[in-house]
Amino acid sequence: MEKIIIFDTTLRDGEQAPGASMSSQQKLEIALQLERLGVDVIEAGFPIASPDDFQAVKNIAKKIKHSAICGLARCLKEDIRAAGRAVKDAVRPRLHLFLATSKIHLRYKFRKPEEEILSLAVDALRFARRFCADIEFSPEDATRSQ
pLDDT, one tens digit per residue, over 12-71 is: 888 777 888 899 999 999 999 999 999 999 999 999 999 999 999 999 999 999 999 999
Q: Quick check: 144 pLDDT over 80? A: no
Q: What percent of the chain has pLDDT over 90?
A: 68
Q: Give the helix/strand (H/E) hosting 119.
A: helix 114-128
Query: CATH number for the 7-140 domain, one of 1.10.340.30, 3.40.50.1820, 3.20.20.70, 3.40.640.10?
Result: 3.20.20.70
Closest CA to 49 of 83, 24, 19: 83
3-state secondary structure at position 67: coil
pLDDT value at residue 109: 57
pLDDT value at residue 143: 46
pLDDT value at residue 113: 60
pLDDT value at residue 145: 47
Domains of the chain, residue spans: 7-140
